[in-house]
Structure 1
Amino acid sequence: MTKIRLTLPYVFIFLLTALVLDLANPFFDKPARDGGFFLYAGSQILDGKLPYQDFWDSKGPGIFYINALGLVLGGGSRWGVWFVEFFCIFGTFVLLFRSLSKRWGEGAAFFGLTLAGFGLRTVLGYGNYTEEYALLFNAAGLALFLSMVDVERSYWKYLWVGAFFGLSFTFRANNIGGIFAILGAFFLFYGFKRSYLDALRIILVMLAGFALPLLLWTMYFAVLGNAAEMVYASIVFNFSYSAAKDREWLDILGGFGRYGMDWYGWFTLAAWLGLILRFLASFVQRNVSVFEVFLLIWFPIEIVLSNLSGRNFTHYYISWTLAVAIYAAFLFAEAWQLAFKVSALEGWSEPLGAIASVVFIVMLFVISPSSWMRYSESIRAGGGEYIDPISAYIRDTTDPEDLVLTWYPEMGISFMAERTSPVKYLYYPLFLEGSLTKEIEDRYIEDLTETPPQLILDCSRSVDAIPSLDPVTREEQYATPGVKRKMYIQPGMDEIFEFVEANYQIENTIDGCLIFRLNQD
């Protein structure tokens, strides 16, 4: 009976993870734009191509290679990547549950984890994002930090905290709000006590750990002769990207709007405001802990980092997941203490924990029965993957060695069609004005004109973010009020338009996308 009771929370976590990843089910949908690019990148690595040299993106190398790992595990199937996603999210939830249970009891852990899971489901969408995989490493770093805040210092553990966040950084630079908050907490806590040497030692050890994964990746790419390009793309370029878009101060609060975590973000903000009251009470009593300082500064840091670019993409707020769990658990523990005059850690009995586990498990089935029906259908079908009509057409009308360019860069189509793009800078049409260099534009045009693809897929009308390659369609776009003003129109696009008009003809239209075929001599 004891084994069953101990297993129930992990059954809940397993089911919660599956619910979070419902839309990412490869059987029903094609990958999202970013996720599709990372799948394409992983497949290119398995074909012997090198990130930043043969294909380029401003993300750290971690996301490309973890997709390659997933494809290896799945034998080239998207299901392999889905299982890696599942492992990372499940591991994140397990680390959170165990850490929160030790600090505030299982009741607080269930509450915080449930809100975090539903919040993550709101912003994850079709999945395979950099922020998603980084959650596991951030959770490991935070769990290690939480295990030390009330005990004697261990510099080896501080080194590992830094290393876990360093791994997170190699997926996306904005994913490291946790380590900023930890470093800031130690600096403020020991600085206020005038123990500057203690603060300096801890900070330097954590920074050394943080640098270790970056150093290893740099050495790896140095052996391949591409270290400088990796550092530029994954770190330096992101500064120009963040500065390329004008934004207002209110843009920092984008995570609380239509593209954010919905009311889960607002609830976390309310919990943070409650934490301020707790902090002030501890400050008056001269009993502030480093953990309270951490909680005071952590959520504001996450808010700022997730909105640095000024572009409100929903997946930017995946990184809030850990904060939702911890602040919600804190608020639960405070409310329990006020209501029952006993701490949530002491007042939550084992039988109550078992009952709560069953209730939360049943709740998951009641809340979203359609999700479990989708999984059942996937299992009955023996897995399988959805292939959209465009990818199927490209696969059927080209040879495996033919090059295919996607003008609006939906690289998930290239992945599903198993075709390679001729260009290195796949996202050239969507570069912001302040981040596009002449070298990038010249290289794109050179790749296109010197190795012309057999097909060009033009899905520009799907969102009207860039001009169509077809002059008639382009004029229709320009004639639509307000469309041209919001477009990405790069300086060298006219040269591309002329090249396509001289060398290609429209062969077909599928789902609103134009398919151009290279003229045969």
Structure 2
Amino acid sequence: MIKKTTTINYICILILFVLVALSALFFYPYAMEVPHRDSGIYLYLGQELLEGKTIYSEVWEHKPPFIFYVNALGLLLGGGSGWGVWGIEVLFLFTTVLLSFLTLRHKIKPIASLLLIIATYMASYQYMSGNFTEEYALVLQAAILFIFLSQHFKSHELRNYFIIGTLSGIAFNIKQTYIDVTIAIGLLLIIEMIVDKKWANIKSMASIGVGFLIPNLITVLSMAINHAVREWWDAAFIYNFAYSDIGPFERVNALIDIFQVNSKYPLFIFLFLTWVGASLAFLYQAFPLITHFFHTRKGKIFLFTLTGFFFVLLGIGQFMGTQPGLGIIETVVLSFAVLSLILSLLFAFVLKPKNHQVRKPIRLTPWDTLNDQKIFSIHDPLLIGVFHFPIVLFLATASGRNYPHYFIPLYATAFLLFSGVYLITQNVDWKLSKTRIANIIFIALFIIGMMQPGQRLLRGLGGPYTYHPYRELVQYIVDNSNEDDQVLVWGLETLINYLSHRSSPSRFSYVDSLYYRSPLQAESTAIMLNDILAHPPKFILDMRNPQYPFIDGVSNDECLAMVPADGTDLEKIIHFTCKNYQHIDRVNGVEIYKRID
């Protein structure tokens, strides 16, 4: 029997590997000859790192450094092609699903574990396009949950929390918002400490903190060795803080917009409905604890504070708003304010606490059977998922931009909620039929949910994509320049530098930092001006992006007449281009300017 189970496990793991490999064909280099925008930036920076340049001080991007070194390693392994990067990502994704499968095998049979992991992977895969930072971070999410949900976690608790902190520190150096699983675990530790008086959790959180510091200290040391600490801090933190500096109502609007963005993904809808059901089950079990807390002095202060917060938020919105009256968001905030006020008055003056209120244990799934004496068990996948889902959505919309790939971290949520609900259904005594109704429901949802990501998988099997407009542009650059020549792309399409193997004259290979309002805007523009004056590139490509207005097709004479030579640094760049470059061609809407030698 053990041998049979082991064989089934190996077959399931093989199926998972085949699934990941086939799904990765959607973005493998043969099909996606021209990488998407973000991937093109990372590949170019990796290419420049292999040329000996220093990240942030000589090549600029506002992500933490992990993704650039991964791309550099991949290009090194692939002999300069994207195949090495693709191979690394396949390895990362396979390790992710493997860890998740092994986590479930503690409690769930092989075939069921396999189907749950496939559904989980597809819920995240539907947002993937290859070489996104989110895709590399999934393995860290899976590793953290593998450790936290392990049956042997408590035998070396502080050590395990230290490892979780270390993995979280690595995720932080991929992108700061990828510590969502650790935040959920931290919140549960705080709640457990309050409810069960488990003050040892302070040590656990300290252990996470110490582990978290180690990768970040290594990063600081690496930047110090390369004399790029200030540039790293400005790019990865100051710029990103400005990038995410949106108003409270913009943030609420971004959260509401999530459902419009994700309405075309059935698995997201299933995930949301699962979360709603799990949340209601949690609230039902936790209701006595919640009411007991609100009857205490601290609970009453909390409700009055929450009421004040919502009314202040409403006042700020009215003061800063451009339209009179209450919009949808203001109405929602007002509703929360009134609800909080009503609850505050009820618990302060009307409702009286019960004298003998029994505190029952909160158990959503039978995962953690070793802590039956506790009120609150944090090693519960469904409970973690209840907290994790809103954290992911909040962090994904931190900048107010709901790009689809921002929702790739929902992998952990899908893993937690889908597996949690499955565990519940297996403990229900179905009397209507001998057939497991839950299994039928799961398979039906699985088939429906697989349709949309399945289309992407089938598309990857179809070979190279159709004609891309930048192929002709890249070929033009290659045919009319040498590898030592430099090309400035006025836009976001750094992929042109990567594909043509032509360096940018400035650390700012794309011009976002010159136009986006941040504390670095003036300095970035000044650096770009100095770089162009010191090393005029052979070609300047005006991508005609309305977000980054440049020459926009006007003649050199008109440009020189409109743009002063002694104006702002940006105007000086435009004036210098019109004076020293000649418009020679237009390829697929891109204006090509060549230096007048």
Report the AA paired with residue 182 of structure 1. Answer: I
Matches within 5 A, 1:349-368: 368=454
1:422–1:259 distance in 2 versus 1, CA, 3 Å? farther
1:15–1:365 distance in 2 versus 1, CA, 3 Å? farther
Matches within 5 A, 1:406-485: 406-429=489-512, 431-434=515-518, 436-461=520-545, 464-472=546-554
Taking the aligned partners of 1:442 and 1:508, their CA distance within structure 2 comes to: 28
Q: Deviations over 1:65-108 (max 9, x none)?
A: 00011111111110100001111111111111111232344455
| 1:161 counterpart SS class | helix
Taking the aligned partners of 2:547 and 2:43, their CA distance within structure 1 comes to: 23
Q: Which residue of 2 aligns with 1:221?
A: 223
Q: Which residue of 1 aligns with 2:202?
A: 200
Taking the aligned partners of 1:41 and 1:260, their CA distance within structure 2 comes to: 35
Structure 1 stretch 239-248 or stretch 444-453: which is displaced more? Answer: 239-248
Matches within 5 A, 1:119-518: 119-125=123-129, 127-147=130-150, 151-196=154-199, 198-243=200-245, 247-258=250-261, 262-280=265-283, 282-283=285-286, 285-287=360-362, 288-292=376-380, 293-338=383-428, 340=430, 368=454, 371=457, 375=461, 388-429=471-512, 431-434=515-518, 436-461=520-545, 464-472=546-554, 492-518=569-595
Taking the aligned partners of 2:478 and 2:265, their CA distance within structure 1 comes to: 40
Q: Deviations over 1:256-283 (max 9, x none)?
A: 3226882322222222222223324554
| 2:150 counterpart SS class | helix
CA shift, 1:434, in A, is 3.7
**C-alpha contact (below 8 Å) 2:153/2:160 kept by paired residues:** no
**C-alpha contact (below 8 Å) 2:385/2:413 kept by paired residues:** no
The alignment status of 1:13 with 2:44, answered yes or no, reads no
| 2:149 counterpart SS class | helix
Q: Calculate the aligned-residue CA RMSD, in Å.
A: 3.2
Taking the aligned partners of 1:61 and 1:186, their CA distance within structure 2 comes to: 30
1:261–1:289 distance in 2 versus 1, CA, 3 Å? farther
| 1:173 counterpart SS class | coil
| 1:517 counterpart SS class | strand
Q: Which residue of 1 aligns with 2:86?
A: 82
1:410–1:308 distance in 2 versus 1, CA, 3 Å? same
Q: Deviations over 1:344-392 (max 9, x none)?
A: xxx9xxxx9xxx99xx99x9899858856855858xxxxxx99822222
**C-alpha contact (below 8 Å) 2:16/2:97 kept by paired residues:** yes
| 1:337 counterpart SS class | coil
Q: Which residue of 2 aligns with 1:477?
A: none
Give the TM-score normalised by the residue count of structure 2.
0.74
Taking the aligned partners of 1:434 and 1:254, their CA distance within structure 2 comes to: 25
Unaligned runs of at least 5 residues, structure 1: 342-346, 379-384, 475-489
Q: Deviations over 1:445-464 (max 9, x none)?
A: 22122211101122225xx3
**C-alpha contact (below 8 Å) 2:165/2:209 kept by paired residues:** yes
Taking the aligned partners of 1:182 and 1:49, their CA distance within structure 2 comes to: 39
Taking the aligned partners of 1:276 and 1:457, their CA distance within structure 2 comes to: 52
Report the AA paired with residue 392 of structure 2. Answer: E
Report the AA paired with residue 583 of structure 2. Answer: I
State percent identity of aligned pairs: 27
Q: Which residue of 1 aligns with 2:44?
A: 40
CA shift, 1:296, in A, is 3.0
Structure 1 stretch 263-272 or stretch 509-518: which is displaced more? Answer: 263-272
Taking the aligned partners of 1:412 and 1:237, their CA distance within structure 2 comes to: 22
Report the AA paired with residue 79 of structure 1. Answer: W
**C-alpha contact (below 8 Å) 1:163/1:210 kept by paired residues:** yes
- Give the total of aligned pairs: 481
CA shift, 1:121, in A, is 2.5
Taking the aligned partners of 1:146 and 1:332, their CA distance within structure 2 comes to: 16
The alignment status of 1:67 with 2:150, answered yes or no, reads no
Taking the aligned partners of 2:451 and 2:124, their CA distance within structure 1 comes to: 18
| 1:515 counterpart SS class | strand
Flag the structure with larger Rg: 2
CA shift, 1:516, in A, is 1.2
Taking the aligned partners of 2:93 and 2:258, their CA distance within structure 1 comes to: 21
Taking the aligned partners of 1:4 and 1:37, their CA distance within structure 2 comes to: 43
Report the AA paired with residue 183 of structure 2. Answer: F
Unaligned runs of at least 5 residues, structure 2: 289-359, 363-375, 557-566
Structure 1 stretch 490-499 or stretch 399-408: which is displaced more? Answer: 490-499
| 1:505 counterpart SS class | strand
Give the TM-score normalised by the residue count of structure 1.
0.84
CA shift, 1:324, in A, is 1.4
| 1:175 counterpart SS class | coil
